[in-house]
Structure formats: C-alpha cells, structure tokens
Structure 1
Amino acid sequence: MTDSSPASSSTGDRVREVVRHELVRRDLTVVRVADLTAQIRRVTLAGDELGGFVSLGPEDHVKVFFPSEDGERVMRDYTPAVFREVGESGGPELDLDFVVHGDTGPATAWATAAEPGSTLSIGGPRGSRLAPRGYRRFVLLADASALPALSRWVEAVRFDAEVIAFVQSNDDRILDYPVPTGDRVAITRIATGEAAALTALAGLHLDADTYVWAAGEATALIPVRRRLRRELGLSRDRVKVDGYWKLGVGGLDHHAPLDPEDPED
C-alpha cells in the first residue's frame, strides 16, 4: 500500500512518498562474488524466494542475518545495491555490497569467506521512501559504507536534476565503484573526516532548489548536520543525514537520532 503523506514538506511536488511492503524473510544462495574496489566486495544472491522482492527507494535496507561465534544470528542493515528480476543465474538476483576491512566482525567475516554455494538470510525491505521530486539539484555525500545508497540516489534523480556527489575515501580507486553517470552528474573523491566534508559543502550554493543527503560514519557527520541545519538554516525536509555506522560500535541503530544535542530528524 502507499502512504502519500509528506515526509515533512509543505510543497506538494517535493513530498517523499512512502510505499509499504509485506515483510518477508528469504533464504538465499550466493552465486557470484566480485571485488569492486580494494574495500568493497559484491556478493550476488539468488533463489526462488527472491520472487516478489521490491525495493523502490534509494535508502531502502534489508535485515541481513549473519552467524556469530556463539551460534546466535546477528542482524545488520544493508542497502540492496542492485536487484534483477532475471540475472545470469536465470532467475532473480540481488547484489549486496560489503566493506571488507579486515576485522573479525560477523558481516566482514562472512563476506570475506563467501563463495558460490554459501547461504544467507535476509528480511525486508519493510518499506521504501522514494526520492523527492521538484528539486533542481541534489548534493550527495557518502563514505564507502553508503555507496550503494548513493548509487541508488543518482539513479533515481539523474534525469530530472543536477547531481553533485562526494565520496569520502582515502582509496584512490574508490571511484571504480559502479555509479550511474549522466550529463549532469559530477562525482568527486574527497578525504575522510568531517573537515573534508565541511570544506566540500562550503564551496556550494545550497539554495531552496537543493536537496542534501549524507551518510557514513555517525560521529563525523554530526558537524555536517549542524552546519546544514543550524548554521545554514536548511529545513528538515531538505536535509537527510544518516549515520550508517559508528567507530567502536557494533550494529549501530541508524534509526536513532544522529546528534544527541539535536535529536529531531
């Protein structure tokens, strides 16, 4: 079903429509593994249970269930990178992208060892929040963890608006990650950390026709959100800043308020 009420906007053509989906858990099998960059590994999943899978919004996420050392399953949220109703395997396929950083976390451990025949269970998405329409420019900021969502943002808006995207990484090859292109799409790699992000944003004119989305390490994004919301005064319907992970914290709840001093989202 569709909820067509605004996410928090009084401008009709800029409403972020919400589409609800039936919550389904799916048991899937790995059919391919590919290293897209030095950091990012794409795992392609297939199986009859992918029939009926729907993911419409750039920030959609599925719950992924990983085994842990104590035998319990650990849940993490991942953006569906690419879904194909018919893929090379002859049936539906879903690509999930993992940042492989050499630690012993359950997601990295599983993705590092994944090979054709490995199994994985996912749940959702529960719903999709579509990209807003009516903006002439989108400014996107993401680190490696948020590249699937950035790619989906570009795909969703590139034919209707200018896209200025910044990818935060110290890896010179991070832009090997496949992101849709277009005449009005510009993607630039910048250094990690809040200083580089603030410098990039400072060079832009963020007028009323600009929507800003940023995602990545939560602590580094707090100053970014404060600059956008407090200092520049951008209204909440024009800004979405989301912490996808937090240094030293396993399984961060990205639905929780990013800034403890300003919990309004």
Structure 2
Amino acid sequence: MFDRPRTSSQPVPRRARVHAVRALTGTMVRTTLRDADGADPAAPSSLAALRAPGPEDHVKVFLPDPATGALHAPTLAPDGGLQRATGGVSVSREMTVRATRTVDGAAEVDVDWVRHDGGGPASAWAARAAVGDEIVLAGPASSLGVPTGIGRLTLVVDETGLPAAARWVDAVGADVPVTAIVEIGDDVDESFVEAELGRADVEILYRTDGPGQMVESVRSLGALDDDEYVVALGEAGELAAVRRCLRQDLGLGRDRATVAGYWRRGTVNLDPDAPLDPADPD
C-alpha cells in the first residue's frame, strides 16, 4: 500500500508580475513570475515564501477583469480560507506550479498555460500575457508528496497534466523507471514533450486520431507491477474511462493511483473537486 504524505497551509494571496513569457510549443505558454513592484521579499505574501514541494501542487491564479483590466485580489479570511474581493469581476483558475527558484536574489515561479481556440478568459489572458502584467497567486493550500516505495511510475496525461508529469519524473528516484502516455494536439511538438519528461519512456497519442486512445494505451500495458504507481491527469471524460480500466481491468486499488480531471470538454473552469464521472463519483 502506498501512502502519500499530505501537508496543509494557508492559501496566502501573493501579488505577482510577469517577468518573462516564453512560447513553449503550439498553444502552450510559460509565464515566469516575480513579486510585484514594492513587495517585501521577506513577507509571508512574497513568492519566496511559496512552498510547492509536491509534484501536483497547484495555486489558484486570480486574473484581471477581462472587461476593465482591474485586478481584484482576494484576502485571507479569518477562518484561513480565501475571501474573494467584492464589487468587481474575479476570474480564477487552478494552475500547477511548474517550478520555483531564486535568480539573482529574486524568487521566481513558472506557470504553464494551454491556450484553447475560443477558450475562456484564462486562455485569452495567456494568449496576450506580457512582461509587467500583474496577477495574484493563492496557495498551495495543501501538498501531496511522492509515496515511498515506488518501483515503477506510469504517467497518463494530456498537455494540461504535462507540468505535473514533468515534476513527477524529477521527484521519483533516478533508479525508478518511468513510462509516460501523453495525448497532445497536432500543434504540440513531440520533441518538447520528450524534453519535458526527460528520461521517461514516452508514448505520444494525437487527439485528432479520435477519443478513447488513452484508455486503450493503459489497457495495453497489461498486468502492472506490485510496486507500480499510476498518475493520470487531464480531461475528465477521458480519465473516467482510464480510472475504470485501472480499477476493474488491471485491479489497481485507490492507494496505487492518482487520477484527477484538470478540465472537461464543454465546461468552463471545471471544479477540481468535481467527480470525473457524476454517475460514478468514486
């Protein structure tokens, strides 16, 4: 049985500005963030105080009002939760922390975005993000570490799960074999995916080839090793079938897999706590 250590903390809001923007591949963009001008780098609200040790750790990103450009920052409520600002539009999304580091004494945080044609305000913001733009990061409120005792890691992701998958590869021991099944759009470069996942053995699936490829690739793995752990992250509808396959066909218990929907076709701002399949919420 695998046990993932969990730590919790207050989701402190941190005002940040875009320090750099890098087009990664196709519709993917990386924003590098630093503290907003005038911030105290020693304060709990600085990016230097942000801790994201778990490979899937995410922050709630608050974006400017699409109509006015005003940024309505949340505050920390007395109960330790987040209180949204009143009197203005507050757009937020859950985003994976791709990397944190310190450069020339300044704390930096990387966040990778997937832009969608005809997407919502987050996709639109990422498409036009420029140096100097300001946003707010809140969290992470909790962190799940890597289970001890993993002998093999299997990743099943799409572009939205790629940042967390890359962190998983870095987080497990160098002696742990990693297999990655990655579904991408035609505008995503295979070489970028392979570079992000480093030493992993990568299988690329193209979304344009039709639905159901993820679950078929998982099924083709056959029996899994007793010390194998599976992480599946991406579109909720696809992953509902993957979870059923892991549980019913491959006999994997809940303690040996993490499956999370990061988005759902036809849904804007999917609740990360929503069940993958409302008809089968477990």
The normalised TM-score by structure 2 is 0.83
Aligned twin of 1:31? 19
Superposition deviation, residue 29 in structure 1: 0.7
Aligned match of 1:151 in 166, 169, 192? 166
- Asked if structure 2 preserves the Cα contact closer than 8 Å seen for 1:154 and 1:179, the reply is no
Q: Distance in 1 between matches of 2:31 and 2:130?
A: 8
Q: Distance in 1 between matches of 2:61 and 2:150?
A: 33
Superposition deviation, residue 158 in structure 1: 4.3
State the percentage of identical aligned residues: 40
C-alpha offsets along residues 12-54 of structure 1, whole Å, 9 cap, x if unaligned? xx32001122321000011100011112100000013212110
Supply the AA of the counterpart residue of 1:207: D
Aligned twin of 1:43? 31
Aligned match of 1:56 in 53, 58, 65? 53
Q: Distance in 1 between matches of 2:144 and 2:119?
A: 33
Aligned twin of 1:247? 265
Q: Distance in 1 between matches of 2:66 and 2:107?
A: 31
Unmatched segments (≥5 aa) in structure 2 = 36-40, 68-87
Aligned twin of 1:98? 113
Q: Does 1:72 align with 2:89?
A: yes
Supply the AA of the counterpart residue of 1:201: V
Q: Does 1:117 align with 2:132?
A: yes
Structure 1 stretches of 4+ moved >3 Å: 68-71
1:208-247 matched pairs, under 5 angstroms:
208-247=226-265
3-state SS of paired residue (1:36):
strand
- Asked if structure 1 preserves the Cα contact closer than 8 Å seen for 2:16 and 2:135, the reply is yes
Q: Distance in 1 between matches of 2:148 and 2:191?
A: 27
Aligned twin of 1:7? none
Supply the AA of the counterpart residue of 2:28: I
Supply the AA of the counterpart residue of 2:153: F
3-state SS of paired residue (1:200):
helix
Cα distance change, pair 256–160 in 1 and its aligned pair in 2 (3 A): farther
Unmatched segments (≥5 aa) in structure 1 = 1-10
The normalised TM-score by structure 1 is 0.88
- Asked if structure 2 preserves the Cα contact closer than 8 Å seen for 1:67 and 1:106, the reply is no
Aligned twin of 1:4? none
Q: Distance in 2 between matches of 1:112 and 1:260?
A: 32
Q: Distance in 2 between matches of 1:240 and 1:257?
A: 13
- Asked if structure 1 preserves the Cα contact closer than 8 Å seen for 2:16 and 2:33, the reply is yes
Supply the AA of the counterpart residue of 1:215: L
Superposition deviation, residue 220 in structure 1: 1.5
Aligned match of 2:274 in 240, 256, 261? 256
Superposition deviation, residue 195 in structure 1: 2.3
Aligned twin of 1:202? 219
Q: Distance in 2 between matches of 1:45 and 1:174?
A: 26
3-state SS of paired residue (2:243):
helix
Q: Distance in 1 between matches of 2:190 and 2:91?
A: 28
Superposition deviation, residue 194 in structure 1: 4.5
Cα distance change, pair 142–104 in 1 and its aligned pair in 2 (3 A): closer
Q: Distance in 1 between matches of 2:190 and 2:141?
A: 30
Aligned twin of 1:5? none
1:3-22 matched pairs, under 5 angstroms:
11=1, 14-22=2-10
Q: What is the aligned residue count?
A: 248
Q: Distance in 2 between matches of 1:194 and 1:133?
A: 34
3-state SS of paired residue (1:223):
helix
- Asked if structure 2 preserves the Cα contact closer than 8 Å seen for 1:20 and 1:126, the reply is yes
Q: Distance in 2 between matches of 1:238 and 1:174?
A: 28
Aligned twin of 1:3? none
Cα distance change, pair 145–73 in 1 and its aligned pair in 2 (3 A): same
Aligned twin of 1:138? 153
C-alpha offsets along residues 210-258 of structure 1, whole Å, 9 cap, x if unaligned? 1111111111111111111123221110122111001111110121221
Q: Distance in 2 between matches of 1:15 and 1:222?
A: 22
Cα distance change, pair 213–31 in 1 and its aligned pair in 2 (3 A): same
Q: Distance in 2 between matches of 1:43 and 1:261?
A: 37
